[in-house]
Each structure stands twice: as C-alpha cells, then as structure tokens.
Amino acid sequence: MRAASEELSRKELLLNSFKLGKIDKDLFGPTPPSAFVGRFGYPEVLAGPLVSPAGEEVSLSDTPDKWLYLSREEIIGFRSNLVRSNFKLNVKDARDPGRLLKETQELAMAALPVDVEVKFLKPPRRAIQFDGILTPMGPSGTVTDIEIVENPQVPKKVDALADDRDIKATEAAILLYEASISPYQISRLLSVGTLGKKRLIVPTRWSITATDSMLGENLLKRVRNYPENADVQLFVSEAYGNHFEILFVPRAYAFGWTEMWISQKGKVEIGDLYEDAMNKPAYMDGGYYAARFSALEFLERVRRQASIYVMREVKPTYDIPLGSWVIRELVKDAFSRQPLIFGSVTDALKSVRTRINVPPNTLFLKKHLLQTRLMQFD
C-alpha cells in the first residue's frame, strides 16, 4: 500500500489526502485518543484533545507503530482529519487542573477511542502542518468547552500511576513501559501532566524526545551488563525516502548517529552525534533519541551489547516530514530483517557505501571505530 504515493508530488499528495470538509463550531466525534500541547509562549501554552468529525478508522490516526506499511497519502489523510482543540493554560496547572485540563487528561489515559463533544469559539479552518518530530497536524481552533460523552477505558496500571503523587515521572514511565503500555501513550500521558510528583504540562515535541530518552536510559542499564555481540552485523531498512544502514560492532556499548539530508539540487546537510561511556551527545536531538531507543530495545531483546552506528540518508522525495516516528519504526523494522554479516568493519562500511554516501570522517567513525579499534576487525 505504501508505494502508491511514493512518486506523487507534494501538491498532489496534499490534495488527495485532505478530505475534511467544513467544520462547525460544535463538533461531536471520537478522539483516537490523542492530545496535543504546543510549545510557543512557554510556560503559557495551548493544549487540548484531537477529535475526528469523520470517525472512520480513528483508532489508526494516532498509532504510529501501525503506520509503517501505509502510504504517505493514507497517513496524512488520517492526521488531516483530526481537529485540534486549543485552550490556554500554564504548565504548572497540571498540579491543580481545571475542568478542561481534567477532561483532556482523562481522554489521554484511555486505551481506545472515546466519543467527545467539543465547542469552539469559531469554526476551525482547513489547514495542515508538518514537522520533523511531530506527526502531521490538521485544523485547530480555540475551544470553549469539552465534554466526554462515554466512559473511557483506562488500563489499570495507567489509572494507578496517574493517582500516585509520590512517584517520579521517570519511574512511572518505566513502570508503564514494563506493563506493555505503548511509548506513544506514555509520551501523551507525560505531555498532559498526569505523571510524577511535581507535575507539569510538557509540550508534545519535548515529551516525545523525553520519553525516548528516559526509557532508553533504563534499557541501557541492563544492556551494559550483557556480553558483546558476536559478529559485525549490518541491518538495512527504507521507506518514505528515508534509508537506514545500522552497523553493530562487537565491543562495549556506544551509539553513533549520522543523518544526511539531500536537497533537490543535490546539496547534502549532515547531522552527527555520538555517545559512549565517557561522552554524551552535544545536544538533545529527537531523531537521535528515537533511533537509540529502538536500537536499545533490540539489544535488550537479544541480551547483547554492541557499538551501534545508525546512518540515515534522507532523499529529496521526503519533502513532507511525517515525524520522528518514521525513525523509531524504521530502525525497529531493520531489526526484523536478516542482517548482513561481515568479517570486519572495513568490509561492512564498503557495503554501506554501495547504497549511501557516508562521509569518512564522521564523529563516530573518527573518534570511536576507526581511531581505536578498527584494526582488530581486519
């Protein structure tokens, strides 16, 4: 299904995807469930649930872990038909939430779609926004009232930890993850201020990266105690104009991330970060932590540690960003495939460069693989 829209132009894709008609001031429909918190004006921010007037397949419209084999057109269609309701609040309001925030929090806790009635100050206008971290966002409007019209189905673990005011947010997130609550829902719960002691509303963009970082750090504590991976392995995955090459080297845990964005004119922009026992990444990059989390999930599953080098090439066809879930899910997808096995890092890199043009002097290659240990794999 995914290939159907790979060659469509940006204009054609948007015209085909955006099917939502005029929206009234009073909107009744299901939320996936989903909520959004903006970052502009922080600590005064806009927040509210996302509601679908159409109601068709709404459960798929906020589940990125099920999107990988859908076309871009289908994904944008789901997202453009969700209407974002906005009301203003201070991030500290999570400690004593008013009625609108309470309703939003209750919706965010639900495991299944919930019917809700939303009243807007003015009818929301047709619009759609794209972002490298966030999933595509549809129309939005200022909300005057939110009313849940059915009982949300809330997992017991979510309910218990939302009521617990003595546990730290990080600890709550880890317990939810270990109880098989999706990281996407954990991010949503963190964003609307339902977790932790000193609760805060967290902009959605930040909560996504924070969740990847927190859960990844917890996995890393266990991964560091596992034996080293036996082989030099290379995993490959590609979709939506994103190509990933993921190299596993048998040695102590370290993580490198290089992304190469290719413009329509062939110009290449490079992002480059890495970490090891002595170094942390230079800044908080959402794509880095999304890839790292999926890699650590895999190492935990196979009970191994390794030096991991994730190389991402972004082609000009990726002219409509779909969010960091693309990175998270494509890295995960790579590990579902049979790896290529090599006798040396040199041979593995030669194979990589037959598909993408990785610079020879990236931080991870220069300071980690090539400088200190490459010769022992030759």
C-alpha distances (whole Å) from 74 to each of 81, 116, 375 are: 11, 24, 47
Under a CB-based contact definition with an 8 Å cutoff, are residues 208 and 187 in contact? yes
C-alpha 323/C-alpha 344 separation (Å) is 34
Three-state DSSP state, 377: helix
Helix (H), strand (E) at residue 314: strand 307-314
Q: What is the 3-state secondary structure (H, E, C) of 217-267?
A: HHHHHHHCCCCECCCEEEEEEEECCEEEEEEEECCCCEEEEEEEEECCCCC
Residue 145 near residue 167, CB atoms below 8 Å:
no
Q: What are the backbone dihedrals phi and psi of residue 85, each rounded to the nearest 5 degrees, phi first?
A: -100, 135
Per-residue pLDDT of the chain (378 residues; tens, 9 = 90+): 454 455 566 656 665 666 666 788 999 999 999 999 999 999 999 999 999 987 667 888 999 999 998 998 889 888 888 999 999 999 999 999 999 999 999 999 999 999 999 999 999 987 788 888 999 888 999 999 999 999 999 999 999 999 999 999 999 999 999 999 999 999 999 999 999 999 999 999 999 999 999 999 999 999 999 999 999 999 999 999 999 999 999 999 999 999 999 998 889 999 999 998 888 888 889 999 999 999 999 999 999 999 999 999 999 999 889 999 999 999 999 999 999 999 999 999 999 999 999 998 898 888 776 555 444 444
Neighbours of 121 (CB within 10 A): 12
Contact 54, 108 (CB under 8 A): no
Residue 99 CB coordination number (10 Å): 10
Cβ proximity of 30 and 116 under 8 Å: yes
* Residues in CB range of 290: below 8 A, 6 or more apart: 208, 209, 212, 324, 325, 327, 328, 331
| The pLDDT of residue 374 | 42
Tally the residues of the chain: 378
The sign one gets for the Cα dihedral 301, 220, 226, 243 is positive
Least Cα distance to 246 among 263, 318, 150, 255 occurs for 255
Neighbours of 198 (CB within 10 A): 10
Q: Would you kindly state where each structural domain of the chain is located, as residue ranges?
A: 2-158, 232-377
User: Alpha helix (H) ranges present in 18-62?
Assistant: none
